[in-house]
Amino acid sequence: MANPWFQFKQFTIQQQYNAMKVTTDGCLFGAMLPTLPGEGKGFKVIDIGTGTGLLSLMFAQKNPEASITAVELDPGSAAEAARNFDSVSLGKFIQPIATDILQFNPPHLFDLIITNPPFYEKQLTAPDAAKNRAHHDESLTLDGLLQSLDRLMTPEGSAWILLPAYRQEILPTLLSRYSFHLYSCCQIRPHPGKAPFRVVVQIGRRPQETLLESLVIKTDDQAYSPAFVNYLKPYYLFL
């Protein structure tokens, strides 16, 4: 059974009522999100499918002045995320909203979009409905997500997305459908010699050369890699 909480250096994630628990790849994604000028002051950010609120809080730690809208479809998960935000000063500029992103019509566009969307499309599902929504894109397909990004992003904005590696195959076709360009793609491998299992991609509207990178979570001796430690040291208690 997963721990009902996860302790970071500057905040605690309660996850008792969330189907999507804190994961290593989710934490790495949060640590890879960009640092904005002026600690994010004046920037409008949206976290789509916030779950426990992990990405919003990790982003707020390095950008404490950014205005973050944290949208979550599941009411119980949204309520738990709101409690996580309320428990620390990092959550002062985070607004949790329990709604379907496909129906969300905010009063403004967003400079930055961050999302760890449902992973698995038309694959085996769990008997728990909340787990299905968290892990499977029955309610939000990748195409539906990109349609939402197109609707919510400013002309100069960008989006950071964590995806399973196999989704790279269909991504170029979907990006071209909405006139998005791939700014960067980082392949995440669990160990050296293993195939990538996740990719972190940044997309936007301006044509530019794609930056291709790779990162290994653990070395052959099961220690965290130097790159992983560099990203997570500001967050993990024992790094």
Rounded Cα distance between 214 and 112, Å, is 23
The yes-or-no verdict on residue 133 having pLDDT over 70 is no
Q: At a CB cut-off of 8 Å and minimum separation 6, what does 95 contact? A: 67, 68, 69, 70
Rounded Cα distance between 216 and 212, Å, is 14
Residue pLDDT, tens place only, 21-76 = 999 999 999 999 999 999 999 999 999 999 999 999 999 999 999 999 999 999 99
Confidence of residue 145 (pLDDT cuts 50, 70, 90): very high
Residue pLDDT, tens place only, 19-32 = 889 999 999 999 99
Overall average pLDDT of the 217-238 stretch: 97
Overall average pLDDT of the 143-151 stretch: 95
Q: What is the pLDDT of residue 3?
A: 75
Are the CB atoms for 117 and 49 separated by under 8 Å? yes
Start-to-end CA distance of the chain, whole Å, equals: 24
**Residues paired with residue 199 on neighbouring β-strands, in sequence order:** 163, 187
Q: At a CB cut-off of 8 Å and minimum separation 6, what does 173 contact? A: none
Q: Which residue has the higher pLDDT, 3 or 85?
A: 85
